[in-house]
Amino acid sequence: MIMSLPTLQSMLNEYADGWHTRRLRSLFDLAPNRAAEFTVEAAGLTLDYSKNHIDAKIRDALLNLAAASGLSAKIEGLFTGAMLNRTEQRAVLHTALRAAPSETPTAVASEVAAVKQRMRELVTALHTGQWRGHTGLAITDVVNIGIGGSHLGPQLACAALRDNHVPQLQVHFVSNVDGGDIASQLTRLDPARTLFIVASKSFATPETALNARTAERWLQARLADPAANPRHFIAITAHPDRAVKFGIARENVLPMWDWVGGRYSLWSAIGLPIALAVGMDSFEAMQAGAASMDRHFRSAPSATNLPVLLALVGIWNTNYLGAETLAVVPYDERLFYLPSYLQQLEMESNGKRVLESNTLVSGHTAPILWGGLGTNVQHAFFQLLHQGTRLIPVDFVLALHNPRSPPGHHDMLIANCLAQAEALMCGRTREEAVATSANVPGIDLPLHRATAGNQPSNMLVMEALTPATFGALLALYEHKTFVQGVIWGINSFDQWGVELGKELAQSLLNEIETAQVGAHDSSTTALLQRYLRARQSVE
Ligand code: F6P
């Protein structure tokens, strides 16, 4: 029998009632097989979600919630080009970029294949030195200029796959409009050997435009020949005419399409810096890993579906247990940028309050996503997780092998990761603390040393971090985000909230450039006037 959403929601609220008085560790005492019962595998990834406040009946109710939200039809729509982004009237088809040719929707198959072919040719030309700079020297450095989805995914991937890098090229990233970003990168580069990729889906992002213009000026200041630009600038955009108007040679513009959201665009030509860093074969291996997660997501029943389960655990923690944040902690230096990439993926996608039905959401949507690298963060914010006052779910991510790790390191890394997950779940009771506490007069030391435990966590495990498992990891989080959006009833593919800040920044920039302060609140006016005085004092 299919239950209605309100019935399921009130059932889940009942199950959640008084959850904090129940010990997570006691769930393990009750069911010796718990770890196996709450572990799923797909596409080279294992998700152990047993250290959550979930039992079989809660999981069933959550699975019913997904079904009652119409998840199956939405998943099918995601793979068949349905217009899921209704506020922008766009289909959502990023999965088509990584599908095997036989599985690519026919409407886009030939365009996708053609762009991949162009990427392959470019990568070969740059790796073999066939593509040279204006003065005839081989290109040794590539600078990706882009922001948001045109930066975070490629930057994460280049760092994650550093063991696969080719020796010929160094890839760098400039995103921030803070001039310190580009200035510090340029000082280390030789213009005759540098290629810039201007990556912008819209080709209307002011930060990227200014950085690209600064790069062009830097190049011209040294090579002093406008004919040099075509050997040193490539653009990737869904608006080729804007790139050409900007001054990029038309033959150097690689297209993308409006059916690829910015935060899902690393699978498109926006991934060119990745392909340049690791080679086209490794880039395609990454796509194949993602495609294998796609197939699993599309075909596996919800009860064994990794993205669906990861999403449901998040829904449970956010909407029923009241967690406000999600910490993502990879125990792998190569995944340094994973939390910031996921911040855009999850928070830009699901940081919404308006339902698809044009009404306001009643509970919470996306949690605040944050995190950092284990083991470093154990010596930074983990104290708050162990003894602070908030419920903070954690996603741990780890690879079982790292061939580049010197002896002893990987054992210690893994021991720390597992220890943290165990300690967060079990805590240390007062009784346990008494046994090991010194007697300090006037201080109840066992009370200070006890930790509450009961913090939920997921453990995401892969054999090794390879292009394929890395691709699967990203696809897992993409689909998790999608499932949560479906259950919350929001459009995960627009980002109207970002627009207001952009508009205000443009009008404040006009005021700064003309030194004419417009009508603002007194705080903004005072700060603007102060900046204008500071600006004048250095002119
Ligand atoms: O931050 C808003 C946003 O529109 C993102 O969605 C996008 O990834 C980013 O700006 C950059 O946009 P573009 O690739 O068009 O320069």
List, in order, residues 6 or more apart from 175 with CB less than 8 Å away: 145, 146, 147, 151, 155, 181, 207, 211
Give first-to-last CA distance, the chain, whole Å: 74
Cα–Cα–Cα angle for 367, 67, 50, rounded to 5 degrees:
55
Q: What is the mean pLDDT of the chain?
A: 96
Residue 89 within any structural domain of the chain: no
Is 409 one of the catalytic residues?
no
422, 509: one domain:
no
pLDDT tens per residue across span 467-480:
999 999 999 999 99
Residue 295 within any structural domain of the chain: no
294/113 Cα distance (integer angstroms): 19
Residue whose C-alpha is closest to residue 112's, from 279, 259, 330, 307: 259
What is the average pLDDT across 369-391?
97
Does the structure show a pLDDT above 80 at 2? no
Does the structure show a pLDDT above 90 at 107? no
**Which range of residues forms the domain containing residue 281?**
94-285
Residue 155 within any structural domain of the chain: yes
What is the average pLDDT across 93-106?
91
List, in order, residues 6 or more apart from 333 with CB less than 8 Å away: 373
Q: Predicted confidence band at 101 (pLDDT cuts at 50, 70, 90)?
A: confident
- With beta carbons less than 8 A apart as the criterion, state whether 450 and 473 touch: no
Is 20 one of the catalytic residues?
no
487, 509: one domain:
no
251/228 Cα distance (integer angstroms): 14
Q: Specify the residue with its C-alpha closest to ligand 1, atom 2.
A: 498
Residue 312 within any structural domain of the chain: yes
Q: Predicted confidence band at 395 (pLDDT cuts at 50, 70, 90)?
A: very high
256/309 Cα distance (integer angstroms): 32
Is 239 one of the catalytic residues?
no
Place of tokens 């804007």: 242
410 token code pair:
């990987």
| pLDDT at position 82 | 92
Say which amino acid occupies 364: H
Please tell me whether residue 460 adopts helix, strand or coil conformation.
strand
List, in order, residues 6 or more apart from 507 with CB less than 8 Å away: 518
| pLDDT at position 1 | 67
329, 455: one domain:
yes
pLDDT tens per residue across span 23-64:
999 999 999 999 999 999 999 999 999 999 999 999 999 999
Residue whose C-alpha is closest to residue 233's, from 221, 246, 222: 246
Cβ–ligand 1 contact at 201 (below 6 Å) = yes
Residue whose C-alpha is closest to residue 122's, from 294, 283, 285: 283
**397 CA distance to ligand 1 middle (Å):** 27
Q: Crossing angle for the helix pair 467-488 and 71-80, nearest 10 degrees?
A: 130
Cβ–ligand 1 contact at 351 (below 6 Å) = no
Residue 79 within any structural domain of the chain: no
What is the average pLDDT across 100-112?
89
**149 CA distance to ligand 1 middle (Å):** 6
278, 305: one domain:
no
- The strand pairing partners of 138, in sequence order, are 132
What is the average pLDDT across 259-277?
98
Cβ–ligand 1 contact at 427 (below 6 Å) = no
What is the average pLDDT across 418-426?
97
* Total count of residues recorded for the chain: 539
CATH number at residue 483: 3.40.50.10490
Residue 349 within any structural domain of the chain: yes
**Per annotation, catalytic residue among 284, 346, 348, 478:** 348
Q: Specify the residue with its C-alpha closest to ligand 1, atom 13.
A: 200
| pLDDT at position 120 | 98
41, 13: one domain:
yes
**Per annotation, catalytic residue among 20, 245, 448, 502:** 502
Q: Specify the residue with its C-alpha closest to ligand 1, atom 1.
A: 148
**225 CA distance to ligand 1 middle (Å):** 32
List, in order, residues 6 or more apart from 241 with CB less than 8 Å away: none
Does the structure show a pLDDT above 70 at 484? yes
User: According to DSSP H, which parts of 166-224 are helical?
Assistant: 179-186, 206-223
Place of tokens 């949690």: 367
What is the average pLDDT across 388-401?
97
257, 384: one domain:
no
**119 CA distance to ligand 1 middle (Å):** 22
| pLDDT at position 50 | 98
Cβ–ligand 1 contact at 53 (below 6 Å) = no
Residue 448 within any structural domain of the chain: yes
347, 413: one domain:
yes
Q: Predicted confidence band at 126 (pLDDT cuts at 50, 70, 90)?
A: very high
351, 236: one domain:
no
214, 239: one domain:
yes
Please tell me whether residue 464 adopts helix, strand or coil conformation.
strand
479, 511: one domain:
no
Choose the residue to mutate in 202, 257, 346, 491 for probing ligand 1, maximizing ligand atoms within 8 Å of C-beta.
202
138, 277: one domain:
yes
115, 259: one domain:
yes
Number of domains in the chain: 3
Helices then strands (H, E): number in the chain? Answer: 22, 11
47/330 Cα distance (integer angstroms): 14
Q: Which H or E run includes 272?
A: helix 272-278
The residue among 256, 285, 314 that closes a domain is 285
307/273 Cα distance (integer angstroms): 27
**148 CA distance to ligand 1 middle (Å):** 5
Residue 362 within any structural domain of the chain: yes
pLDDT tens per residue across span 151-208:
999 999 999 999 999 999 999 999 999 999 999 999 999 999 999 999 999 999 999 9
